[in-house]
Structure 1
């Protein structure tokens, strides 16, 4: 997520810089060069359009007042030449300028500016009057003037340009900061809002798939699903635990009421039978309370491990001996090992974990199954507990180690849903690993590495 935020920040910065440069260049050009124009009073431009001010009737040549005024800004002189190359009209012409030209000179003056007696001259034809020509001359410093004028010059231009840059940068940075803050703070506000919704159990999925907090919203959705599932499992667990407590309590109450009957005198053997059933019911309640206690202390990391060297083969055989009297007829247990392996562990916790896994395999499967147990060592000790029973779905596999979870194979069996959760926490407390694989109709396989 940090990379996404940095990426958004860099994109915003690059966009802001590009916008600043673009606006600065555009405004600078507009303010500094918007009034750029050709100075048409310069001789090289005036000569091209001067024909409009010339009137020729017979041998009479006239220049309009506007034409005369156009010559004044740069103190230009002008000659109108007749068909023979002689001047038929002159204004402001210096004394040293000739009144007669040959055609070779006129052609040169027409094609490009040329020097004449210390002056620069430009020539062209008089439009609509073949044979007549125009010569406009000026001092050399006038001909060398810039052809364009600008809105800004010198220090004023620099000042305007800097001012434009500052204003553009300030505006763009403020806009970029606002856009970036919206991208970052908007989703954060939504995260806070949805966390509040989760706390009230009112979470509704938001559509933020494409923003920088996509992973956060996915985690929130996952958390919400887990909380909902956890709530459902807790409710089911409370119902199951209540049932598991009520069943032995009902037995205790029933046998107690029988023993309390005043109209019948019980024999000692009968009293012993009833007392035995009451003790069994009491033991069931005690086991349930102990399971809850162990689960909670393991989750909190407060369970005191009593580590000792334990012969793993002996421990598994002990578990099998406790499972066999309770197993359904038709269940076959097959135990194989290469060498008798010993590990440092809390004997009670590891035994409880193995018993929980074996017990689940026996009670949650069909009548006829094979329960295979193998032990071997590859750097660490491996324990494989495998059955060829019903198997589990992917959904069940994903939740099998969750507290209070009871799969579809557990619907008609008693239990708190804590057995495998305790097994996982106990093995994790020993820095071990427990893995599970299962296929519907093929069975389930637990592998423990210690």
Structure 2
């Protein structure tokens, strides 16, 4: 998987995880809110919400009794209510907290009269009918309406006329004993008269909405209200009994639920985002910071990866594997490792090359000064008047000076040739040539060189005609360089075998130079073609410039060929000049 896909996968996974966590937090908060709202509903309006829950959670036992949720039964007791389960014939088959004055059996019309409040009954009844396990389930819930009873008692033989409220002493005592107060309102909700009304905290007028809310939610306002509308004079009798003095009625009853939920939810989301940011910084930012520090170290010339505790690279474990948070950047880290290794190798090679350059320059300078000193010395000798040289001595001196100048010329030409070949500025024209014939002539010419000795070169032509595209002067120089290296740098008894081998296709061939000399070690083979590896032996100035192998490799590659070296110390060396299909790309 590419780094782009890994990063996209990680980012999408992180966002998906954050969304899932936020959804879980929201779901948990919603569940908690629903539970709390249910609790508030049970308190505010148990007859509506509580009875549904009672039936939904009820379990009918084999003996006909009903098992309810204990939490809901506690709320029934708190409301001073009672429960009855009635069968189809009106018989009570199960009850809870039922007072003695509640019937155990109801006639059809009687139960309906109680339910519609058409017949006096000391309790307010709510009836709920549901099907449960294939049976009709009739549940009665009753609450004693103390306020309504007290209002009915206060209205007996009491009246309001001419702006005066007339109550009997017994009725006044009953109102005072309950801490209640009575108000008479006109058709517009303005107070006309009152009894036992507190001096503060009780309104003198009510609109329709406010009066309805106070009657509907007694626990919210802390008072239980009962009303009676007198049609004769258009007044409203309103009796109020305080049930919770701390209730104000101004606050939303759900504030105690929503406020902490919102605070907790917001804090949870903020904490979640902070944790995600820290996780993101550790998972993605830390590796990036590590790579930036690594690049800064590379800029400063330190090519090792920054290490942590114990000298172990920060991106790796002790077993050499990537740490988990670095997996996504594995490709980048491998590239940086390769870059560090390359830069380190290049730096070491640059130092070696610089050292070889200085050594080579010192050698070349010395090699140039040696023949130049000889030329200057012979020139001074010829110039001196105190000497009289014969014609033969003058010719001898001139020959030495010419030999030294030719050596200097070859040295300068070799140096120029290496730079031209390296820059690609030298492209010799090639022509189709009989390789067997060309190599035979060049080997014969080398055999006549007295410096090499007699019988040290063996030529083996190919059994079939071989033609190749070469530049003859460059090819001659290549053969001369390889022959000189093989014969001059090996013992006098060693021999050189030059052989021609045809290729698989037309125009392909190879030439092998195999000697049985002292061979080379691997380091010498690896550095054989470096320009600055060897300085010329000043004691044998006619051997060469020390650039011969670098020139040889450059000329072969300029003719679309390649060179291979195989050498074993103490056994000899084989150098192959190859022209084949791979040579043009090599």
Band of TM-score, shorter chain: 0.5 to 0.7
Written as runs of structure 1 = structure 2, the 5 A alignment for 1:343-382 is 343-378=468-503, 379=505, 380-382=508-510
How far 1:369 sits from its partner (Å)?
A: 1.0
Cα root mean square deviation, aligned: 4.4
CA distance change for structure 1 residues 392 and 219 in 2, over 3 Å: closer, same or farther? same
Structure 2: distance between partners of 1:346 and 1:251: 36
Greater mean deviation of Cα atoms: 339-348 or 261-270: 339-348
Written as runs of structure 1 = structure 2, the 5 A alignment for 1:29-428 is 29-34=24-29, 36=31, 42-43=53-54, 44=57, 47-49=68-70, 68-69=77-78, 77=83, 90-91=98-99, 118-119=138-139, 183=287, 187=291, 190-191=294-295, 194=298, 197=300, 203-207=301-305, 211-212=333-334, 213-320=336-443, 321-322=445-446, 324-325=448-449, 327-329=451-453, 332-338=456-462, 339=464, 341-378=466-503, 379=505, 380-406=508-534, 415-428=544-557
How far 1:360 sits from its partner (Å)?
A: 1.4
SS in 1 for 2:497: strand
How far 1:117 sits from its partner (Å)?
A: 5.8
Contact in 2 for aligned 1:77/1:92 (Cα 8 Å): no
Residue 24 of structure 1 pairs with residue 13 of structure 2: no
CA deviation string 1:161-188 (max 9, x = no partner): 9xx79x96x9969986996577568647
CA distance change for structure 1 residues 88 and 230 in 2, over 3 Å: closer, same or farther? closer
Whose Rg is larger? 2
Structure 2: distance between partners of 1:410 and 1:180: 60
CA distance change for structure 1 residues 90 and 182 in 2, over 3 Å: closer, same or farther? closer
Answer 1 or 2: higher relative contact order, Cα 8 Å, separation at least 6.
Answer: 1
How far 1:393 sits from its partner (Å)?
A: 2.2
SS in 1 for 2:520: coil
Greater mean deviation of Cα atoms: 423-432 or 336-345: 336-345
Structure 2: distance between partners of 1:277 and 1:88: 139
Greater mean deviation of Cα atoms: 304-313 or 292-301: 304-313
Structure 1: distance between partners of 2:140 and 2:558: 104
Contact in 2 for aligned 1:311/1:341 (Cα 8 Å): yes
SS in 2 for 1:344: strand
SS in 1 for 2:495: strand
How far 1:447 sits from its partner (Å)?
A: 0.8
Structure 2: distance between partners of 1:390 and 1:412: 22
Report the counterpart of residue 127 of structure 1 in structure 2.
none
Residue 431 of structure 1 pairs with residue 576 of structure 2: no
Contact in 2 for aligned 1:393/1:438 (Cα 8 Å): yes
SS in 2 for 1:239: helix
SS in 2 for 1:401: coil
SS in 2 for 1:280: helix
Report the counterpart of residue 575 of structure 2 in structure 1.
446
Structure 2: distance between partners of 1:260 and 1:283: 22
How far 1:387 sits from its partner (Å)?
A: 1.0
How far 1:361 sits from its partner (Å)?
A: 1.4
Structure 1: distance between partners of 2:96 and 2:12: 65
Q: What is the aligned length?
A: 370
CA distance change for structure 1 residues 91 and 329 in 2, over 3 Å: closer, same or farther? farther
TM-score (norm 2): 0.53
SS in 2 for 1:16: helix
Greater mean deviation of Cα atoms: 363-372 or 264-273: 363-372
Report the counterpart of residue 163 of structure 2 in structure 1.
none
Structure 2: distance between partners of 1:412 and 1:93: 140
Gaps of 5+ in 2: 43-52, 59-66, 86-92, 108-131, 142-256, 307-312, 316-332, 580-586
CA distance change for structure 1 residues 244 and 97 in 2, over 3 Å: closer, same or farther? farther
How far 1:89 sits from its partner (Å)?
A: 5.1
Report the counterpart of residue 130 of structure 1 in structure 2.
none
CA distance change for structure 1 residues 249 and 377 in 2, over 3 Å: closer, same or farther? same
